[in-house]
Amino acid sequence: MKNILLPTDFSKNSLNAIDYAMQFFENWECDFYILNVHKDSDYVSADLVAGSKTDTIYNSIATDNKKSVNQLVKKLSKDYKSQSYTFHGLFEYDDFVSAVNQAVKHNSIDLIIMGSNGANGAEKVIFGSNTIHVIRKIECPTLIVPANYKFTSINKALFSTQRCEDFSFRGIAVFKEILNIHQCELVVLELDSDAIVMSKKEDNDCLRALFPEHTYTYFCLNKLTDVNAVNAITQVLKIDIHAAFVEKETFLERILFGSETTQLAYGTLIPLLCITY
């Protein structure tokens, strides 16, 4: 894992995710791609309403945003000059998901790291819409950093799954590399429709095949109705990072993200690595 994409809108939340990434990969050689995306609907001006949208307006916005990206790249290069980090600035005038998808393909991105929007006023959602769309539409592991979450040593990692038999060995490669980087303890949680409470029991051949080189503790759980239960598990087990294979329309996908019409009340309390392919 070498190429990391860091989308940013220069907000406190997105900059916090970048700071987390810098500490997460400390002492490892990485190429970081700092991406800012702007689209037409991001602004409304009197000139645009009057129908006088010109290239000058686009050029002005692009110039300002490119300047901000370059300034951030220079700052990070200076702050982390002792690390084997290389920084690249990217700017796109596009739909956010399309821009991220192009950046992933053109730069051979191994991992996306983003901040979550968190709860905001009366409308409380797990993640912002951009984050949800990236997870659901882009085939690249995405690590979501909760708002205001500060990096701590990765001592214990949780991997949760439903149908292990359908899991992509390619998709889990990034998570296994994270385990190797941080040399952390692994906990595996299987969501079993027959179980009632969390219990430790013998795992299956599929899980052993996924983690042949890692010793892990295995638990089985059901009656998981919302993300509060996930948070309770991570707190009880003192988990520092949670990885989940999120297949569309599965029980786990609905727990983490809800549906088109239902939004969960609270977000994950710890960084969540979403593997969607």
Write the DSSP symbol of residue 88: E
pLDDT of 170 higher than 70: no
CA angle 164, 167, 169 (to 5 degrees): 125
pLDDT digits (tens, 9 = 90+) for 94-125: 889 999 999 999 999 999 999 986 444 433 44
Higher pLDDT, 204 or 87: 87
Half-sphere exposure of 216 (CA within 13 A, CB side): 26
**Across 127-154, average pLDDT:** 86
Nearest to 195 by CA among 173, 169, 220: 220
Q: What is the pTM of this model?
A: 0.84
Nearest to 20 by CA among 6, 34, 31, 30: 6
DSSP for 181-249, written as a single string: HHT-EEEEEEE-TT--S-EE----HHHHHH-TT--EEEEEE----SHHHHHHHHHHTT-SEEEEE--TT
What is the CATH code for 3-145? 3.40.50.620
Q: Please, what is the end-to-end C-alpha distance for the chain in angstroms?
A: 17
Rounded CA separation 104/146 (Å): 22
Q: Do domains 3-145 and 156-275 have the same CATH topology?
A: yes
What is the CATH code for 156-275? 3.40.50.620
Q: Are the C-beta atoms of 4 and 33 separated by less than 8 Å?
A: yes
- Percentage with pLDDT > 70 across the chain: 69
Rounded CA separation 38/66 (Å): 11
pLDDT digits (tens, 9 = 90+) for 23-79: 999 999 999 999 999 875 555 444 444 444 456 666 777 788 899 999 999 999 999
Q: Are the C-beta atoms of 97 and 239 separated by less than 8 Å?
A: no
User: By mean pLDDT, which of 59-68, 179-188, 203-212, 225-234 is the weakest?
Assistant: 225-234
Write the DSSP symbol of residue 122: T
Rounded CA separation 188/202 (Å): 11
Per-domain boundaries in the chain: 3-145, 156-275
Q: What is the mean pLDDT of the chain?
A: 79
Rounded CA separation 51/211 (Å): 59
Pairing of strands 216-221, 199-200: antiparallel
